Amino acid sequence: MRLLIVVPAQDRATGNLVTASRLQQGLTARGHAVLVCATDGTPAPLAETAAGFRPELVLLLHAWRSGRPWLEAGLALPYAVLLTGTDVNAGMADPQQGPVIDRVLKGAAAILSQNPLTVATLRRDQPDLGDRLGHLPPGVTLGRERFAWRDRLHPAPGDLVLFCPAGIRPVKGQLDLLAMCAPLLAAGRRLRLVFCGPILDRGYGERLLTELAGRPWAAYLGSVPPEAMADAMRQADVIVNNSASEGLPNALVEATVLGRPILARDIPGNAAVVTPGDNGLLYRDGGEFRTAVCRLQDEPALRARLARPAPGRFAATTEAAVLEQVCTQILAAHPSRQM
């Protein structure tokens, strides 16, 4: 099989590219030829890449940002769509993006989500998607590179170190997270809040750096390479996600496999990974967030229970096998379509 994976052009540490790379590795290990193409949103380079690679089918990772240029390229190849959180939580209802996403989905041979809650919601709200809609179980591949950051920050004994790995942009809620932590520090709580991730929104990134300058208990590490994220997470006490929208966050999947306690905003993307009391805690507002932080700091038994590794829960081999099966079914229904 020759598969072209189309993904929006972004920093390599973003979730979309991490997912695309993992899928490429998984299918390549199963004997398939897979090329990842990062699109800048224009159709011509996409068409040129497809002409050179000659795929049998295409996987669009992001219905809007990958799907729009694919439609404009006008290539007669079967394709599947892997929906993102932005597609589902914002794009479908957007007056500009919605009609394009609808066209992309109507033309897709398969529509996938890595979040079972999203699949259930779409089955209920959009029954016309039918049996083309399916769940692709998420996987994770743990990198082996080192990223020693804890010793550089010198947290004091008794400090609870919260680690927030996410691209720096408004939807990820880093500024709100700072504000939610401030009352805890004012009350005498021993906390350190550490951010990492590429700056994807320049203005928001500048505001975050300005706010950090006046808060010695918080820090920004820059972008952590995907191959070093496992090592970076192992040095944290708690992994935090304050995003307003997620498809299914790779960072929380990785934290679960590693056995790092999770504290996450209660949204469908996070709730699909976090089982409260098992691998983390969920919160709906600042008050619940602060209550959860206090519990994590004051109850060692709770933190120990949330820190049990789950190496078999998110297997990249299972993810690749399911995607292979989907692609095989598409090719059986669309024979001899190679460029």
DSSP 249-308: -HHHHHHHHHT--EEEE-SHHHHTT--BTTTEEEESSHHHHHHHHHHHHH-HHHHHHHT-
80, 169: one domain = no
33 located within any domain: yes
**Mean pLDDT of the region 256-282:** 97
H or E segment and range at residue 81: strand 79-82
128 located within any domain: yes
Task: Classify residue 202 by burial, with Cβ atoms within 10 Å: 0-12, 13-18, 19+.
Answer: exposed
Evaluate whether 239 touches 233 at the Cβ level (below 8 Å).
Answer: yes
H or E segment and range at residue 154: none
134, 222: one domain = no
Residue linked to tokens 């290990």? 29
167, 263: one domain = yes
Write out pLDDT tens, residues 120-147. Answer: 999 999 999 999 999 999 999 999 999 9
Write out pLDDT tens, residues 297-322. Answer: 999 999 999 999 999 999 999 999 99
CA distance linking residue 63 with residue 74, whole number of Å: 15
Question: Quick one: pLDDT band at residue 88, thresholds 50, 70, 90?
Answer: very high
Task: Classify residue 112 by burial, with Cβ atoms within 10 Å: 0-12, 13-18, 19+.
Answer: buried
Question: Quick one: pLDDT band at residue 336, thresholds 50, 70, 90?
Answer: low
Query: Count of alpha carbons within 13 Å of 272, Cβ hemisphere only?
Result: 25
56, 84: one domain = yes
Write out pLDDT tens, residues 140-188. Answer: 999 999 999 998 899 999 999 999 999 999 999 999 999 999 999 999 9
Q: Considering only 7-11, 91-95, 254-258, 315-319, which range has the smallest mean pLDDT? A: 7-11
Q: What is the pTM of this model?
A: 0.92
**Mean pLDDT of the region 93-98:** 95
- Alpha-carbon distances of 91 from 87, 88, 96, 169, rounded to whole Å: 4, 6, 8, 17
pLDDT given for residue 10 in this prediction: 84
Evaluate whether 74 touches 51 at the Cβ level (below 8 Å).
Answer: no
240 located within any domain: yes
CATH code, domain carrying 107: 3.40.50.2000
328, 258: one domain = no
339 located within any domain: no
94, 214: one domain = no
pLDDT given for residue 301 in this prediction: 97
pLDDT given for residue 339 in this prediction: 53
Write out pLDDT tens, residues 318-334. Answer: 999 999 999 999 999 98
pLDDT given for residue 67 in this prediction: 97
319, 301: one domain = no
The two three-digit tokens of residue 53, written as one number: 């690679």
**Mean pLDDT of the region 98-127:** 96
15, 116: one domain = yes
170, 35: one domain = no
Provide the domain count of the chain.
Answer: 2
Query: Count of alpha carbons within 13 Å of 275, Cβ hemisphere only?
Result: 10
Q: What is the dihedral of CA 292, 293, 296, 298, to 10 degrees?
A: -110
145 located within any domain: no
CA distance linking residue 44 with residue 50, whole number of Å: 10
The two three-digit tokens of residue 178, written as one number: 């700072």
Domain that holds residue 255: 150-306
268 located within any domain: yes
121, 154: one domain = no
82 located within any domain: yes
19, 118: one domain = yes
The two three-digit tokens of residue 241, written as one number: 């996600």
12, 68: one domain = yes
**Mean pLDDT of the region 68-81:** 96
238 located within any domain: yes
